[in-house]
Structure 1
Amino acid sequence: MEIVFIISQEHQTLPRAEIEAVLRAEEIPFNFKKQYEGILIVEVANEHEKYMERVGKRLSYTHELCKLLIETDKTSLNTDVGKVDWNGIITNDYVVRARRMDKTDKFDTSKIEIEIGGTINSIVEGSKVNLKDPDCFIRLIYLDEIVLLTQRIVKIDKKHFNNFKPHKRPFFYPGSMSPKLARCMVNLTEIKEDDTVLDPFCGTGGILIEAGILGAKLIGSDLDYKMVQGTKSNLEYCGFKNYKIFREDAKKIHLETRVNAIVTDPPYGISASTGGEDSTNLYSAALKNMDGLLKEKGKICMATPHYMDIKGLIKDTNFEIIEQHHIRMHKSLTRVISLLTKKNLSQKNLI
C-alpha cells in the first residue's frame, strides 16, 4: 500500500528526514515512491497500516497521512472514482475534501467535492455526508494535472505546538527553540518509547518536553542554576514526574548508565550562558565527553550557528556527521541541525 504524507513546505529537507527517522524508529520497512511539492508518497506493507496513526502522532513537519486509493488526472477523475470499491471503504458516514497544493491553480473545490460525493452516494447505498466528524475522510489532493484520491488516516494536531510555545510555559527565556523543531530533532535520533534522552544544555527544557511526549526517559543538565530550576518547572507543568535534572558543566557530566540519544541546542556564544568560556571550546570538550555518555548505536542531534565549524568541533572526537539541515532564522543567523553517530558504528556496519 502507498501512504501519502502531506508535509510542511516551510523547510526543504526536514520533513522527509523526520518521516524516514520515525518509520525506522517504529521498525516499519518502507520505500519512497514519489515526491511532489508538499507531498511524499511512501510504500509500506499492508500489515503496517495499523501503525500509521502512531507514526503520524510523532511527526511535527507533516500535516496529514492518507492512504492512496488512486492516482489519476483531472479529466479522468470522475470516471476513476466510480471504479473504487467504496462499499469496502465507507461503512458509516463520510466527507470529501479537496486540497490544492498549487495555490495559483484556481478552481471551485466545493463543486468538485459535491460531484465526487454524488458518485459515492450512487454506489454506497444509504451513505450519509457528515461535515463535522465523519467516520471516513476522503481527501482529494490536486498537484497541477495530477489528482490523488486518498483516505485520510490521521491529521496531525498542531494545537500542542501552539499551546506549548516557549513564551506560554511557566519559565521562559529568549531564544528558546520552538516545540516543532525540538520534536523534529528528537525524532531524527530514532528514539523508541522508554529510551533515555539527554540534553546537556537543557535551558528551558523544550527538547526534553518533546522527548517526554514521545515516551522517553528524561535527563537534563545546565550550568545555570536558574535554567535547571526553570526546566523542572516546565516539566512539572507538562505533567512529567520521572526525570533527572541537575546543575553540571556539559564537559564534566557523568552518568551511571549510557543514554540512547543526546539532543541539544547549546547557547550561541553568550558569555553568561557559557560560564564565560569560548563557545567553540565548550562545544568541542562537551562532544568529547558525550562519547562516554552515549550508547554505541545512539545518535546525537545538535543545533549550532552557521558560523561555527561543526566538522572542526568533532575532528578529535569519535563522532561523524550523517546528515545536516540548515534553517535560516534571520539575515544574520542560520541554524544548522547536525545528526551525529559514532565512527566505530559505521565501521562495524562495513565489516
Structure 2
Amino acid sequence: MSKTWKKYLLWFAQEHIAFRVAEIQALLSLYQIEIKYQEVPKYNDPFWIVEFASEEEAKLVASRSVSLRNCLELWAHEKSLEKLHETLKNKEKTFYSDFSNNKSFKVEVETFCRHFTQKEKIEKIETFSYLPLKGPVNLKNPELHLQYIEYYGTRANDPPLKPYHVFFGRLVANGLRQLIKQLSLKTRKFIGNTSMDPQLSLLMANQARVKNGDLVLDPFVGSGSLLVAAAQFGGYVFGSDIDYLMLHGKTKPTRINQKVREKDESVKANMRQYNLEHRYLDILVNDFSMVFWKDSMKFDSIITDPPYGIREATERVGTTRENFLINEKYLPTHIPAKTEYGIPTIYRDLLNFSAKHLQIGGRLVCWFPVFREDYTEDCLPAHPCLKIVANCEQPLSMVTSRRLLTYEKLKQPVLEDLTIMDNRITDFREKYFVVREVTRKERRLKEAQTRRDKWEIYKNLHKVN
C-alpha cells in the first residue's frame, strides 16, 4: 500500500536550539517513523518544512518533543502575504471540502521577531475571509484551528520591514512544552545545588528513547531530576549516589529563604508530587567505582550527569592512610573516608559500566565538560562497544561548555573491552581552577589599573583648577 505523504511545518521554541536535531532524530528512531525534509534545516531558524506519511506519525513525534511548539499541516508557504493569498485561492475546491462543512474554526496570527498589536492581527485575519469556511467562529475550542505565521529572522533588535517567510496551515498537534512548567524546580519538593533544569532533563530522556516499561538508571542521581523526566515517559527508575546526606535530604537547603529542610524531602517525595511513585523502584547509597550490580543486571537506558568537581565533589570510598583499620565498635555508625575520583576515571568507569549493563541498542546519555578552545571530537570518551549517535553543546561561559553525549550499545563486551584505558580524557577540574585563578588575577590587575587611571585624571583636573 503506497504512502500518502503530506507537507508539515515543525515550529520550534527558540531555546536550546543545539538539541533540536538530536531530539527529533531520537523520537523518529523510537517510533520507527520516516521523514522527508523539503530543505535542509538551518541552525537558527525555528522551523522545518518536512513530510510525514500520515498525520498520526506527525502527532506521535509532537506528543513527545519538548523542543517543538507545534506542528501544522502546511497549506501554503511563500515569501509574502500577497503570494500566500494567491496560492490559497488557487487550490482546488476539493482541498477545502473536509474543512468547510459547518466545522467551528478560528484563525490565529503569530509573528517571530516582530510584535503586532491585537488590531493589526485582526486586520491580517480578515484578509483570509475568502476561505470557504461555513462553520461558526470558536476562539476557545474550535474543531478547525488555522494558523498564519510571519517570520522576520532572528535579529530582534533590527527586524526587516517585511517578513522573510509566511506560512499558513492547520494545527495538527502541540509539542510537550507545558510539561516544562509542570516540572518546574520552583515548585518541586526536593532540589539541590545541581538539580537539572526540567527541559534539559526531558531532552535527555527523549534522547535516551525512554518508553513505557523501560528500566532506567542514574548512577549519579543527586536530587533525582533525571529520574522524574524518565518516569514521565513510562520508565521504571533506579538511582544511586555516594552522597548519603543528599539522598536522605540532610544537606543545606538550596532555596534562599529556606533555613532547614523539611522532614519528608527526598527523591521519592518528588515522585509522589508528580504522581509517579508507581514508577519509582529505589535509590541506593553506593560508590560507583566499586562493583555493585550483578553482571546479569541490564538496563534499557542510563541517563546521568556525573560530577565535575566544581559545585559537587568527585569522590569515591578510600583513604591515603596505609594499613587503616576501624575498631569494630565504631563500624555500625562509621561513614567511610573519601578520596579523589578524577574525571577521566569516572568516564572510563561509566562507559565500561554501560557496555556491560545496557541492553543491546540501549542508550547512555551523559554530560561531558570541556574547554571550548581545546574541544575536538577526539577528546570525547570512547568505547569499542558504544557508538556516539548525538553530540550537543551547551555553553556555560566564554571558555567552558558541556556536551550532551548520547551513546548506543552495539555489542556485548569481551574482557579486553573492559580493560581499555582511554588516556585522551583530560581532567576538566584541574584546568578549571587554574584558568579561574588566572582570570581573577587578570581582573584584579585590570581593576587596579582602572583605579590608577581615575586617580591620574583626578589629579590632572585639580592641577588645572
Same fold (TM over 0.5): yes
CA distance in 1, matches of 2:59, 2:341: 45
**Residue equivalent to 1:114:** 126
**Residue equivalent to 2:182:** 163
Match of 1:4 among 5, 9, 20: 9
**Residue equivalent to 1:65:** 71
TM-score by length of 1: 0.86
CA distance in 2, matches of 1:281, 1:167: 34
Kindly indicate whether the alpha-carbon contact (under 8 Å) linking 1:4 and 1:41 is maintained by their aligned counterparts in 2.
Answer: yes
**Residue equivalent to 1:233:** 269
CA distance in 2, matches of 1:330, 1:90: 53
**Residue equivalent to 2:286:** 248
- Do the aligned partners of residues 314 and 306 (structure 1) sit closer, same or farther apart at CA in structure 2, a change above 3 Å counting? closer
Q: What is the correspondence of 1:73-92 to structure 2 with a 5 Å cutoff?
A: 73-84=80-91, 85-91=95-101, 92=103
SS at match of 2:349: helix
Q: Which amino acid aligns with 1:182?
A: S
**Residue equivalent to 2:21:** 16
Q: Does 1:189 pair with 2:208? A: yes
Q: Which amino acid aligns with 1:281?
A: T
Shift of residue 316 of structure 1?
Answer: 5.7
- Do the aligned partners of residues 6 and 315 (structure 1) sit closer, same or farther apart at CA in structure 2, a change above 3 Å counting? closer
CA distance in 2, matches of 1:66, 1:298: 32
Shift of residue 313 of structure 1?
Answer: 6.3
SS at match of 2:195: coil
SS at match of 2:275: coil
CA distance in 1, matches of 2:270, 2:347: 25
**Residue equivalent to 2:386:** 319
CA distance in 2, matches of 1:317, 1:29: 29
List runs of 5+ in structure 2 lacking aligned partners. 1-5, 152-162, 249-265, 317-339, 413-465
CA distance in 2, matches of 1:105, 1:335: 37
Q: What is the correspondence of 1:1-351 to structure 2 with a 5 Å cutoff?
A: 1-34=6-39, 35=41, 37-46=45-54, 49-72=55-78, 73-84=80-91, 85-91=95-101, 92-103=103-114, 108-116=120-128, 118-120=129-131, 123-125=132-134, 127-143=135-151, 144-229=163-248, 230-240=266-276, 241-244=278-281, 245-251=283-289, 252-254=291-293, 256-270=296-310, 272=313, 274-275=315-316, 276-307=340-371, 314-315=381-382, 318-331=385-398, 333-342=400-409, 344=411
**Residue equivalent to 2:418:** none
- Do the aligned partners of residues 227 and 333 (structure 1) sit closer, same or farther apart at CA in structure 2, a change above 3 Å counting? farther
- Do the aligned partners of residues 280 and 329 (structure 1) sit closer, same or farther apart at CA in structure 2, a change above 3 Å counting? same
Q: CA RMSD in A?
A: 2.7
1:36-56 CA distances to partner (integer Å, 9 max, x unpaired)?
51101221113xx12433321
CA distance in 1, matches of 2:48, 2:270: 35
The structure carrying a bigger strand percent of its residues is: 1
Shift of residue 18 of structure 1?
Answer: 0.9
Which of 57-66 and 304-313 deviates more? 304-313
Query: Percent of aligned positions with the same letter in both sequences?
Result: 22
Shift of residue 112 of structure 1?
Answer: 1.2
Kindly indicate whether the alpha-carbon contact (under 8 Å) linking 1:201 and 1:266 is maintained by their aligned counterparts in 2.
Answer: yes
- Do the aligned partners of residues 39 and 140 (structure 1) sit closer, same or farther apart at CA in structure 2, a change above 3 Å counting? same
Q: Which amino acid aligns with 1:287?
A: L
Kindly indicate whether the alpha-carbon contact (under 8 Å) linking 2:217 and 2:237 is maintained by their aligned counterparts in 1.
Answer: yes
Q: Which amino acid aligns with 2:284?
A: F
Kindly indicate whether the alpha-carbon contact (under 8 Å) linking 2:359 and 2:409 is maintained by their aligned counterparts in 1.
Answer: no
CA distance in 2, matches of 1:209, 1:166: 11
Shift of residue 337 of structure 1?
Answer: 0.5
SS at match of 1:75: helix
Shift of residue 25 of structure 1?
Answer: 0.8
Q: Which has the larger radius of gyration?
A: 2
CA distance in 1, matches of 2:183, 2:315: 26
1:131-171 CA distances to partner (integer Å, 9 max, x unpaired)?
22222110112233432211111223533312322342111
Shift of residue 282 of structure 1?
Answer: 2.0
CA distance in 2, matches of 1:90, 1:216: 43
CA distance in 2, matches of 1:105, 1:145: 16
SS at match of 2:130: helix
- Do the aligned partners of residues 235 and 214 (structure 1) sit closer, same or farther apart at CA in structure 2, a change above 3 Å counting? same
**Residue equivalent to 2:328:** none
SS at match of 2:297: coil
Kindly indicate whether the alpha-carbon contact (under 8 Å) linking 1:274 and 1:282 is maintained by their aligned counterparts in 2.
Answer: no
CA distance in 2, matches of 1:154, 1:24: 20
1:69-124 CA distances to partner (integer Å, 9 max, x unpaired)?
222342222233334533312552111112223438999333111221x222xx23
Which of 316-325 and 177-186 deviates more? 316-325
- Do the aligned partners of residues 311 and 263 (structure 1) sit closer, same or farther apart at CA in structure 2, a change above 3 Å counting? farther
